[in-house]
Amino acid sequence: MKPLLLLTDFSENGNHAVEYGYRLAKDLETNVTLCNAVDFAETANMLWPAEAYDALISDSGKELKKLMKHLEETDHNAGFHPQISYQCKLGRLVDVVESARQKEDFYMIVIGAHRKGFARFLLENHSKSMMDTLTCPLLIVPQKLS
């Protein structure tokens, strides 16, 4: 079976969606790819040197490795254990996902539901952007789903 693409922004809800997607992958007996997009549009109001973006990508990679280690260390059940890979790229989430899909055919993309409240008016609603743009299965995991 094709792997699942699990998206996170490292928020509590984003990581919860990754954990849910990982459990789903175990049930489906398929592998997973963790993915984070370093969205330069959200930092556009700041003037950053080019090296700062390299540091953001590096930090993202470190966080994805920590999340990968957490998934592996908490997977104590018998049976299938998904292989985990990861990728982080600079760009809008939709563009990063489309780039990943050009390299690999994913069975499904898993993302956490967008946060509620005033912050959603300030930042792009990634869940809605994904629904509007993608032409593949997309699972949006609500905050309280266990």
User: What are the pLDDT digits (tens) for 29-83?
Assistant: 999 999 999 876 555 556 667 777 788 889 999 999 999 999 999 998 888 999 9
Most confident of 11-15, 84-88, 121-125: 84-88
Q: How confident is the model at residue 1 (pLDDT cuts 50, 70, 90)?
A: confident
pLDDT at residue number 36 = 95
The DSSP bridge pattern shows strands 108-112 and 4-7 to be: parallel
Instruction: Calculate what percentage of the chain has a pLDDT beyond 90.
Output: 53
DSSP assignment of 121-145 equals: HHS--HHHHHHHH--S-EEEE-TT-
Q: Domain spanning 4-117+132-141 has what CATH number? A: 3.40.50.620
Distance CA 15, CA 22 (A): 10
pLDDT at residue number 108 = 95
- Please check the confidence at residue 126 and state whether its pLDDT lies above 70: no
Q: Where are the domains of the chain?
A: 4-117+132-141
